[in-house]
């Protein structure tokens, strides 16, 4: 692994992010399995209105080698948005998830969350989230499924507490569509993400880039994000946590893997 820059070290130190991820990754170009196909070892849930580590209503579980996000034990969703955090943080990497949407949305889930999930990148530590906080400050690769007839792109971008740059200019819309095709039904979809610290993030499907942006950063208009920026001494995001969402529609993940890249 190449030497990490001083600014990046200070950034991680300020957030008290663990650095073991860099040691665990071994060699550049080697895929490491973040999900072992057996259990949730290495992952910690943070579900809204519940304390860190409480897997409310068995929302996240592993069955038949698949990481399932389900709501069979919910009476109603009640905006109980959840995130499953991986134990390590990363900066320069390529990530790949295989996912599919199944079944019906949980009763009380918002309309926009039908066949909706996401992968959160460059995120804050779950320990820094308030008990009633809905989403971690992060960059979201939004995963969406079609309704069987209408066009709906996936691998979109959403920015809870963050902003990015596009074409050299600050870009502040909360969600931005990709150029992807629509994936209807319960088919498995492979989403890839290339992350280069604070330089560039690319969303890929079927080997093609469907969305690209630069310089992910904290949005100081958001009170909590502003606190994180002050704590870190910078608003620029060069790395952070990875988490998977629960947003009221059942979703399966059968692969979550990551390849550490060089820092250039």
Going by C-beta distance under 8 Å and a sequence separation of 6 or more, which residues neighbour residue 108? 76, 77, 78, 248
Going by C-beta distance under 8 Å and a sequence separation of 6 or more, which residues neighbour residue 155? 141, 142, 143, 178, 180, 191, 203, 204, 205, 210, 211
**What CA–CA distance (Å, rounded) separates 107 from 250?**
12
**What CA–CA distance (Å, rounded) separates 173 from 59?**
30
* pLDDT tens digits, 13-23: 444 333 333 33
* pLDDT tens digits, 231-248: 999 999 999 999 999 999
**What CA–CA distance (Å, rounded) separates 229 from 220?**
7
Q: Record the pTM.
A: 0.89
Token pair, residue 55, equals 């897997």
**What CA–CA distance (Å, rounded) separates 95 from 33?**
10
Which structural domains are found in the chain, ordered by start? 6-149+160-171+189-260 (2.60.120.560)
For 135, 159, 218, 228, the CA distances from 232, given in Å and listed in that order, are: 19, 19, 10, 6
**What CA–CA distance (Å, rounded) separates 67 from 58?**
12
Closest CA to 243 of 45, 16, 63: 45
* pLDDT tens digits, 42-69: 999 999 999 999 999 999 999 999 999 9
pLDDT at 118: 98
Going by C-beta distance under 8 Å and a sequence separation of 6 or more, which residues neighbour residue 13? none
Q: How many CA atoms lie within 13 A of 55 on its CB side?
A: 13
**What CA–CA distance (Å, rounded) separates 55 from 44?**
8
Q: How many CA atoms lie within 13 A of 94 on its CB side?
A: 13
Say what percent of the chain tops pLDDT 90: 88
């Amino acid at each position: 692994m190449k030497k990490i820059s001083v600014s990046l070290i200070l950034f991680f130190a300020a957030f008290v992010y663990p650095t073991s991820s860099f040691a665990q990754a071994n060699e550049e170009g080697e895929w490491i399995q973040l999900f072992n196909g057996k259990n949730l070892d290495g992952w910690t849930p943070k579900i809204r209105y519940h304390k860190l580590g409480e897997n409310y209503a068995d929302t996240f579980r592993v069955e038949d080698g698949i990481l399932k996000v389900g709501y069979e034990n919910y009476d109603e969703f009640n905006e109980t948005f959840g995130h499953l955090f991986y134990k390590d943080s990363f900066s320069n990497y390529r990530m790949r998830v295989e996912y599919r949407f199944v079944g019906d949305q949980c009763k009380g889930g918002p309309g926009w969350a039908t066949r909706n999930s996401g992968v959160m990148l460059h995120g804050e530590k779950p320990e820094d989230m308030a008990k009633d906080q809905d989403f971690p400050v992060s960059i979201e690769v939004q995963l969406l499924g079609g309704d069987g007839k209408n066009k709906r792109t996936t691998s979109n971008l959403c920015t809870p507490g963050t902003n990015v740059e596009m074409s050299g200019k600050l870009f502040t819309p909360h969600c931005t569509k990709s150029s992807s095709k629509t994936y209807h039904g319960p088919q498995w979809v492979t989403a890839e993400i290339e992350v280069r610290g604070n330089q560039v993030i690319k969303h890929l499907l079927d080997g093609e880039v469907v969305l690209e942006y630069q310089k992910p950063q904290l949005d100081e208009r958001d009170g909590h994000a502003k606190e994180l920026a002050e704590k870190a001494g910078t608003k620029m995001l060069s790395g952070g946590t990875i988490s998977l969402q629960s947003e009221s529609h059942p979703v399966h993940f059968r692969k979550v893997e990551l390849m550490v890249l060089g820092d250039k």
